[in-house]
Structure formats: structure tokens, C-alpha cells
């Protein structure tokens, strides 16, 4: 995951930051009493370990698209969107004989579904609400928050409070309302 992120100097720390945000958010969710049947200490550790794998599919995307300092064309955006399915496939193939099935499930869910939106308008499958794996719902918020608060080749960084406002007002897609309450508690 670090090798893939290091292809772009601006997002090289993205893996570490999103893992930290996932840890904070999942622990807040557990403290809030959200999904008690799922959020065991074991699950939380596996999710923290899997979080860096969310963008592993970007290895299949050309640098020309990843490092483009302007708006992507519709064809380029379709290419970027394919990192979700590519990542899920890569994790399944590469780690299937190395990691536990619990870890593999969380890692493939995070890679595949971290761009799904609560209202069903995300990608790649257009999952909605509880159809989206919990791990991916958590990862989605961490990923968007970091993307907003980090400088990228195509944008400047937003202040954390501005990023929070954008997320809460739905400017970046729709997210699980209970997880948004946890995010508010963390801010």
C-alpha cells in the first residue's frame, strides 16, 4: 500500500492518516454503541490493518491520470473508478493464502466499497445504506476527510472545519448518519 501511495508525493502519507482516522472513527462508533455485534476489538484491529489497502487498486491506474493537475475527463474518471474493483481483485489474489478470511473480507470490502454512498449514488456497485459493508462506510469518511484536508495536484487543502462542514452538508456524497454523529463528536 505504501508503494502505491508513494507514486504521488502529495498523497504519500494518505495511508497513515486514513488509518489514524479510521481508528478514531471506529472507536468512537464503538463507544457510541453503534453495531455492537460487529465492532469487537478483533474487528477494529483487522479494520485498522486493512485500511491502508483501500487504494491498492490504484496500481492499475496510469500516472498520467493519477497525477493529472486538472479535472478528469469522463473516460479518465471511469478509469479512476476501476481502482475499487482492481483493489478487491488484487487483495483476493495476493493475500488469500497469507491472511485470515476475516481480514480478507474486511480488506476486500474496504477496497471495493469505500466510494459507495449512503444514498446509493456511489460506485462501483451503487450500494445503498446498510448494503454497504460497515468497514467501507467507516473508510469512506476517513478517506474523504483526508482527501479534503490534504493538498493534491489538482487542489489545495481545506481547513479541517471546512472539510467537516462539506462532509456534513453532503458536498462529498452521502454518508452513514450515525457515523457522521461520531465524526461530529470527534471534532
- The set of catalytic residues is 58
SS3 of 115, please?
A: coil
Q: How far apart are CA 172 and CA 17, in angstroms?
A: 19
165 Cβ contact list (under 8 Å, min separation 6): none
Q: How far apart are CA 184 and CA 44, in angstroms?
A: 20
List the one residue out of 114, 164, 118 whose CA is nearest residue 140: 114
Q: What are phi and psi of 54, to 5 degrees?
A: -60, -35
Residue 144 vs residues 83, 108, 109: alpha-carbon distances, Å:
16, 19, 17
E-strand stretches of 110-184: none
SS3 of 6, please?
A: coil
Q: How far apart are CA 7 and CA 178, in angstroms?
A: 35
Which residue reads 497469507 in cell numbers?
98
Amino acid at each position: 500500500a505504501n508503494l502505491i501511495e508513494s507514486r504521488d508525493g502529495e498523497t504519500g502519507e494518505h495511508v497513515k492518516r486514513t488509518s489514524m482516522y479510521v481508528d478514531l472513527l471506529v472507536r468512537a462508533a464503538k463507544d457510541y454503541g453503534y453495531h455492537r455485534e460487529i465492532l469487537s476489538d478483533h474487528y477494529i484491529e483487522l479494520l485498522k490493518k486493512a485500511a491502508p489497502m483501500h487504494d491498492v487498486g490504484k496500481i492499475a491506474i496510469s500516472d498520467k491520470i493519477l497525477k493529472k493537475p486538472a479535472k478528469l475527463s469522463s473516460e479518465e474518471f471511469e478509469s479512476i473508478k476501476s481502482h475499487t474493483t482492481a483493489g478487491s481483485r488484487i487483495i483476493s489474489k495476493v493475500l488469500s493464502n497469507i491472511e485470515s478470511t476475516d481480514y480478507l473480507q474486511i480488506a476486500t470490502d474496504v477496497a471495493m466499497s469505500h466510494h459507495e454512498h449512503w444514498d446509493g449514488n456511489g460506485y462501483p456497485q451503487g450500494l445503498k445504506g446498510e448494503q454497504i459493508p460497515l468497514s467501507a462506510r467507516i473508510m469512506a469518511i476517513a478517506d474523504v476527510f483526508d482527501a479534503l484536508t490534504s493538498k493534491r495536484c489538482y487542489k489545495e487543502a481545506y481547513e479541517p472545519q471546512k472539510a467537516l462542514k462539506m462532509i456534513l452538508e453532503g458536498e462529498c456524497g452521502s454518508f452513514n448518519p450515525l457515523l457522521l454523529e461520531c465524526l461530529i463528536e470527534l471534532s
